[in-house]
């Protein structure tokens, strides 16, 4: 359930009309419902009550400080993939003992920052990374807690660009080599092996890929324990999908039941890294129609939000439902909903049957809470849009709209050009 609903043909977020926010904040902007965020987190977390677990929210899905703080207040940890995400999470008040650090390209300064912060563990993705972590830990006279990110070669049945668990993907260490890599890690003096990690992809709408991956990881854990390694944590990653269009992803309870049923003999603390499944349907992008345009082949609705604000349709051909903020008694037509960016790939929808829209109309691009603002950019020198959070009958700007001055902050013209 989310808390975006029509009341007398007008879209509300919780107890606030969306059009009222647009009037005060301007468009475009991202809008989040705190009730939805809390409900989705609670549903996911409680589904795993039968297992010792830590829910580590995937910061890359939505990295706003206020969103992170809300989840941290609910008891969440975080899954990070950069030093910047660690900085954000620490500023939001995360317990470093609930931070796991993933990602294939950790720099030495980022590794040192994580070691100084005493995070729970690094999810190591390559042999060379393992050596660098050990070297950094030695220089700092610390022990680095690690797991190896094992690539189980399981097809997640999702878009190729967000598949991460196949042999051809850049992530992790092949499961066939993982036992040898763990044995190599044992010989390193400044790493402490505490877990096994995997992540097979994103927007997964079936339970079977998770079950297949878990079966393979269990075999590895038993082999490692036979070698005398104390595996305390099993990090299953994230990836559970949401409904954007016609998908019917499993409910978190269905997902949890499969994991719980297959895990009774593992005796690990489970780390779960949900992102999209918690924030995806908790946010919308609100935009205004600038112009409509027709040619011999197509109808175009030109809005003030572009691919720099929401790149998922251009990048993945992703579907986001688009609906008017205020419903009018009009017909429907087939149109492309496009933005102001100077690229043919700048669109939010193509060949979409939508209500007839007119200049000045407000539209809501639904299911935009995940991988939306966090992937936005200043392309075409467009200031990034604000983020707004609604709680009950109030709204709060949790990131202000950027100004033109913000666009050039940090830039300088050297004297040789003056």
User: Active-site residues: which are they?
Assistant: 342
Report the DSSP pairing between strands 347-355 and 121-124.
unpaired
Residue from 313, 322, 332, 336 nearest 364 by CA: 322
- DSSP β-bridge partners for residue 232: none
Report the DSSP pairing between strands 269-272 and 233-237.
parallel
Q: What is the dihedral sign for C-alpha 308, 311, 315, 317?
A: negative
CA–CA dist 322, 23 (Å, integer)? 19
Cα of 62 vs its chain's centroid, Å: 6
């Amino acid at each position: 359930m989310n808390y975006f609903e029509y009341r007398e043909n007008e879209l509300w977020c919780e107890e606030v009309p969306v059009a009222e926010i647009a009037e005060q904040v301007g468009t475009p902007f991202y809008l989040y419902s705190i009730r939805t965020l809390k409900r989705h987190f609670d549903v996911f977390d409680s589904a795993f009550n039968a297992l010792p677990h830590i829910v580590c929210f995937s910061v890359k899905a939505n990295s706003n400080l206020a969103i992170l703080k809300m989840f941290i207040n609910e008891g969440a940890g975080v899954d990070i993939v950069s030093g910047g995400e660690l900085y954000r999470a620490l500023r939001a008040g995360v317990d470093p003992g609930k931070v796991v650090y993933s990602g294939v390209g950790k720099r030495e300064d980022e590794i040192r920052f994580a070691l100084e912060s005493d995070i729970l563990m690094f999810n190591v993705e390559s042999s060379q990374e393992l050596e660098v972590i050990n070297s950094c830990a030695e220089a700092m006279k610390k022990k680095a807690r690690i797991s190896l990110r094992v690539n189980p070669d399981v097809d997640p049945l999702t878009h190729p660009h967000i598949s991460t668990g196949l042999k051809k993907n850049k992530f992790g260490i092949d499961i066939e080599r993982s036992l040898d890599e763990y044995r190599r890690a044992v010989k390193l003096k400044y790493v402490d092996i505490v877990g096994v990690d995997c992540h097979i992809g994103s927007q997964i709408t079936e339970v079977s890929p998770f079950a297949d991956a878990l079966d393979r990881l269990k075999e590895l854990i038993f082999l490692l324990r036979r070698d005398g390694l104390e595996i305390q944590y099993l990090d299953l990653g994230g990836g559970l999908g949401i409904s954007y269009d016609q998908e019917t992803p499993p409910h978190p309870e269905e997902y949890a039941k499969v994991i719980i049923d297959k895990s009774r003999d593992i005796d690990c603390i489970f780390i779960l890294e949900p992102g999209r499944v918690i924030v995806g349907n908790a946010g919308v992008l609100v935009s205004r129609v600038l112009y409509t345009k027709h040619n011999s082949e197509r109808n175009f609705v030109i809005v003030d939000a572009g691919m720099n604000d929401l790149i998922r349709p251009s990048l993945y051909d992703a579907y986001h439902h688009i609906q008017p903020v205020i419903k009018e008694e009009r017909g429907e037509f087939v149109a492309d909903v496009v933005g102001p960016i100077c690229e043919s790939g700048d669109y939010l929808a193509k060949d979409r049957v939508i209500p007839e829209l007119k200049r000045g109309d407000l539209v809501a691009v639904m299911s935009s809470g995940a991988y939306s603002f966090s992937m936005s950019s200043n392309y075409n020198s467009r200031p990034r849009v604000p983020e707004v959070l609604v709680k009950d009958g109030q709204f709060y700007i949790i990131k202000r709209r950027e100004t033109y001055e913000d666009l050039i902050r940090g830039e300088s013209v050297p004297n040789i050009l003056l």
